[in-house]
Homo-oligomer: A and B are copies of this chain.
Amino acid sequence: MTTPKPLRFGVIGAGAIGSLHARNIATRVAGASLSAVMDINLEAAEKSLYGNAYATTDLDKMLGDPDIDAVLIASLTSLHSEHIQKSVAAGKAIFCEKPVAIDLEETRRVMKQVDDAGLPFQIGFQRRFDPGYAAIAKAISSGEMGKLEMFRSQSSDPKPAPEHYIATSGGIYIDSVIHDIDVARFVAGEVKRVTALGANPVDPVYEKHGDIAVSILTLEFESGAIGVIQNHRRTPHGYDLRLEVHCEKGKLVTEDERQTKLWRYDQGGIHGDYFYYFMQRFEDAYRKEVQAFVDAVHAKEPIAPGTRDAIESLRVAVAATKSLKEHRPVAIAEV
């Protein structure tokens, strides 16, 4: 078998997600290799190395390295846009954690630069690579279930984020619900209009920053289908997701996923645990999304989710934010 030359990655950002991607690229993604990890904290970068990769604090130097083919951007959200632009200038293939930016116009502008440069680009909507979500999307697109008629996605986080994060996150829709929105677009197609409903029982810090902790967002799709996304930011049992779609020929539901494949029966009844957080729940999806990127780059095939998804999923999130503030349905065409 002829195996292609590995796609050599430089990882930008050595936080939790960056380190995970570095490890996957180095040890678990076929056809890829880790060349360098850049972080302003050299020690953090060094801790994320494998094999012959080098650590650096100098982004320009890393982007100038001709032995690096691709970048994986896992820096602070506020730097994504700048890092994408520099990577475009350096001519690298780009995998960027979501979002490109919390501002829609900036996102559009940067995505246009990527498209104009003709560079491979993937945005980190990892749920598309989870087996349950992927199986539902595949069943719908195959037509075997007939037309999709009603969509429902539910996501819950175990605990509120720290205040400094809330203050700059762009709000629940842009920060968090965007993952459900991207799944909605992935499974049910483009959204025409949204209506947001919020509540704030969890922590006054959300209200202080004009944000909410509990959300119900209804969606009207271009296809005529309707949908609802429910989010909660403090579910004590852990990170809990469920996707249900009603179609012409039946209903599809992702099964409840738990961290440990075990049921325990004791004096209190029957018990099972849950995933603590998204990094546990999507551990393998984080590997698979990068594998898909690497495979597509090698095969010179179209990449999804790409620049258009980065824009369109954000656009729905921005419309939802507007709906929440203005207490009215907001058409996606408005934003």
Docked complex: A144-200 residues within 8 A CB-CB of B: 145, 147, 149-150, 152, 154, 156, 195, 197-200
Tell me if A267 and B252 are in contact (CB < 8 A): no
With A237-B251, A250-B266 already in contact, the answer to whether A135 and B271 are too (CB < 8 A) is: no
Tell me if B248 and A265 are in contact (CB < 8 A): no
Tell me if B139 and A238 are in contact (CB < 8 A): no
Tell me if B240 and A225 are in contact (CB < 8 A): no
Tell me if B27 and A265 are in contact (CB < 8 A): no
Docked complex: A292-335 residues within 8 A CB-CB of B: 327, 329
With A131-B261, A269-B272 already in contact, the answer to whether A195 and B198 are too (CB < 8 A) is: no
Tell me if A261 and B147 are in contact (CB < 8 A): no
Residues of B within 8 A of A197 (CB): 195, 218, 220, 226
Compute how far the CA of A317 lies from the CA of B14 in the bound complex, rounded to whole angstroms.
50
Residues of B within 8 A of A277 (CB): none
At the interface, yes or no: A228 with Cβ under 8 Å from chain B?
yes
At the interface, yes or no: A61 with Cβ under 8 Å from chain B?
no
Smallest beta-carbon distance A262→chain B, Å? 4
Docked complex: A71-127 residues within 8 A CB-CB of B: none
Smallest beta-carbon distance A28→chain B, Å? 5
Tell me if B265 and A240 are in contact (CB < 8 A): yes
Q: Mark A249-278, 1 if CB is under 8 A from B, else 0.
A: 111111111101111111111111110000
With A27-B29, A28-B30, A147-B201 already in contact, the answer to whether A237 and B266 are too (CB < 8 A) is: yes
Compute how far the CA of A327 lies from the CA of B6 in the bound complex, rounded to whole angstroms.
55
Residues of B within 8 A of A238 (CB): 269
Tell me if A218 and B220 are in contact (CB < 8 A): no
Compute how far the CA of A154 lies from the CA of B242 in the bound complex, rounded to whole angstroms.
14
Residues of B within 8 A of A253 (CB): 262-263, 265
Q: Mark A232-247, 1 if CB is under 8 A from B, else 0.
A: 1001111010000010
Compute how far the CA of A254 lies from the CA of B249 in the bound complex, rounded to whole angstroms.
24
Q: Mark A198-231, 1 if CB is under 8 A from B, else 0.
A: 1111100000000000101010100011111010
10 smallest CB-CB distances across A and B, nearest first, come from A250-B266, A132-B261, A27-B30, A237-B265, A251-B265, A269-B273, A236-B267, A135-B262, A149-B201, A253-B263
Listed in ascending order, the chain A residues whose CB lies under 8 Å from chain B are 1, 3, 6, 23, 26-31, 46-51, 130-132, 135-136, 139, 145, 147, 149-150, 152, 154, 156, 195, 197-202, 214, 216, 218, 220, 224-228, 230, 232, 235-238, 240, 246, 248-258, 260-274, 327, 329
Given A135-B262, A147-B201: 8 more A-B contacts, CB < 8 Å: A26-B30, A27-B30, A156-B251, A236-B267, A237-B267, A254-B263, A255-B261, A255-B272
Name 7 A/B residue pairs within 8 A (Cβ), A-sorted. Answer: A149-B214, A150-B232, A216-B218, A235-B265, A240-B251, A252-B264, A255-B258
